[in-house]
Amino acid sequence: MNLLVVDDEVELGSVVATEVAKVLAAAEFATLGLATGSTPQPAYRALIQMCRDGELSLANNNAFLLDEYFGLPASHYESFAATIQRDFVHGVDFPNGTVKSLDGMTDNAAATCLDYEHAIQASGGIDVQLLGIGRNGHIAFNEPGSALDSRTRMVELTQETIAVNGAANFDQFQPTHALTMGVGTILEGRYLIMMASGPAKATAVQQALEGPVDSACPASAVQTHENVLVVLDRAAAAQLS
């Protein structure tokens, strides 16, 4: 595992965007795994800037989103599908329809999740997977207790995750469940880039990187992957020995 501790979010964004650009430059066609949340925002801004400057194109690429709230249509402002569109996709040149997300309105979650696994495989697998980390050590929506070989599935969210993710912004809708790529699905990505920033992530980062590989901290699974870059700001790295 490679670990980089950076000074601020601009540097975090630039380091991650440069890594993603390297993967894209080395492949004729590459598949990205995208995370929502606040942490990857600087990286998305940096990638958008690279596209605007003509240094990068995503015209030969596609992407899969890690997760989605169950019960929320993609058209809802707070859906991850809508969020990634606003935060990243609108500013780059993926061909239309090539950024896939899980259907939060499905009436057959098992089939939707299996189809998603098949679609990832059909695209050749994920070449570079961006990941944040939850305060409780979750990756995507794999909450503590998620099997490290879990696949894409419906999960129940913890009260902490619901609260931290700002359920108050959802109007009448209170998310209790989500569809998420499994830990095992994520580990099949060829290159994982995990990012964390801010003091609220310091304990989870320490457990994920220095604690036992255990489903109590799903992010600890990255220790088992042979091609991982972890990019932290100083506050998120504060508890590392």
Closest residue to ligand GLP using C-beta atoms = 132
Instruction: Examine residue 13 and tell whether it contacts ligand GLP (CB under 6 A).
Output: no
CB atoms within 10 A of CB 176: 13
Question: Among 39, 146, 207, 220, which residue interacts with ligand GLP (rule: CB under 6 A)?
Answer: 39
Nearest-approach distance from CB 135 to ligand GLP, in angstroms: 7
Task: Pick the stretch among 45-53, 126-134, 148-156, 185-193 that binds ligand GLP (CB under 6 A).
Answer: 126-134
Radius of gyration of the chain (CA): 17
DSSP 72-105: --TTSTTSHHHHHHHHTGGGS-PPTT-EE---TT
- 143 labelled catalytic: yes
- 138 labelled catalytic: yes
**Considering beta carbons, is residue 50 or 179 the nearer one to ligand GLP?**
179
Instruction: Examine residue 140 and tell whether it contacts ligand GLP (CB under 6 A).
Output: yes
Window 64-83: residues binding ligand GLP (CB under 6 A):
66-67
> What single letter denotes the amino acid at residue 41?
Q
Q: What is the C-alpha to C-alpha distance for residues 113 and 133, in angstroms, rounded to an integer?
A: 22
The first and second tokens of residue 201, run together, are: 């992530």
Task: Pick the stretch among 105-113, 130-138, 167-175, 213-221 that binds ligand GLP (CB under 6 A).
Answer: 130-138
- 149 labelled catalytic: no
Output the CA–CA distances (angstroms, integers) from residue 239 to 40, 163, 210, 221, 232, in the order listed: 21, 24, 10, 19, 12
Active site residues: 67, 136, 138, 143
